Structure 1
Amino acid sequence: MRLMALDYGFATVGVAVSDELGIAAMPLETIVRKNKNKLRKTLARIENIIHERETELIVLGKPLNMDGSEGDMVKSCSEFKEMLEKRCRLPVVWQDERLSSHEAREILVAGGIKERHEIKKNIDSIAAAIILKEYMAISGK
């Protein structure tokens, strides 16, 4: 089963996919929006990736606060989840994304990337891969 993970943010959406066997999680790309309220092109790109990769399930990072409570970002992310489900007609499941961006930054720095723009360009897709990896470990998929 091919899976996709998304790390939703106001300006970007990090995208990661699994391999065909659902064993490995790999960063794919970061979709950048010019306007945080405009999601049409973002959803269209996600839909294209779903068809290209024959995706069967979307894992969406749930941006919980460190204490496990839901903040303002969860509301925006929930609205995005509803749009995804309607447009893509695939199941969309939540995965706790706490510290995924922090871990992604550490991976980039450990890999020798120190320039701020290079970190910014790659952090969201790597965070999505971390979200996907954690989902696969917990769910057994």
Structure 2
Amino acid sequence: MSDPLALESLAAALPPKGRLIGLDLGTKTIGLALSDVERRLASPLDTIKRVKFSTDAEALLKRASDFEVQALVFGLPLNMDGSEGPRAQATRAFMRNLRKLTRLPFAFWDERLSTAAVTRELIAQDASRAKRAEVVDRMAAAYILQGALDRLARLA
């Protein structure tokens, strides 16, 4: 697939079963989450430490291959007014480069407030600052992916 699909179009392009990976693309890390094959539940998977694009892409595509992933769901960090700023542009640039390396379809999902929501939940659970830093990216990816999975379920 050369362009991002709307989630509705992605749903039509997917086989009935198969995992999706959700991504929270940051400047220092990439949080990953994985769905179950039924695409009902997103679980935090891993955090990739960003090095350079080729290394980051290789690590991401290896995990996608290991779990036989059918598609990628990228969190798109929109501004609160819905406009796209530098972070959204960086996410789109990463995906433009990644699509040259894979045939996996992908979609973007509005990730506004995902990290803030996850951080609030971790604080409520009394997680230490060090623990929050360790898990927040992959939990944000799960939050993003769960939102997309819930939308996909409503489309079915």
Q: TM-score, normalised to structure 1's length?
A: 0.92
**1:73 alignment counterpart:** 87
**1:117 alignment counterpart:** 130
4+ residue stretches of structure 1 with deviation over 2 A?
A: none
Counterpart of 2:101 in 1: which secondary structure? Answer: helix
Count of matched residue positions in the alignment of Structure 1 and Structure 2:
137
Any gaps of 5 or more consecutive residues in structure 1? none
**1:64 alignment counterpart:** 78
**2:107 alignment counterpart:** 93
Asked whether 1:33 is paired with 2:33, we answer no
- Aligned Cα RMSD in Å? 1.2
Counterpart of 2:143 in 1: which secondary structure? Answer: helix
Cα distance in 1, alignment partners of residues 131 and 121 from structure 2? 13
- Aligned-pair identity in percent equals 36
- The code of the aligned residue for 1:119 comes to R
2:151 to 130, 138, 141: 138
Cα distance in 2, alignment partners of residues 33 and 74 from structure 1? 17
**2:6 alignment counterpart:** none
Asked whether 1:16 is paired with 2:33, we answer yes
**2:121 alignment counterpart:** 107
The alpha-carbon deviation at position 87 of structure 1 amounts to 1.3
The alpha-carbon deviation at position 82 of structure 1 amounts to 1.1
Is the CA contact (8 Å cut-off) linking 1:14 and 1:125 kept in structure 2?
yes
Any gaps of 5 or more consecutive residues in structure 2? 1-17
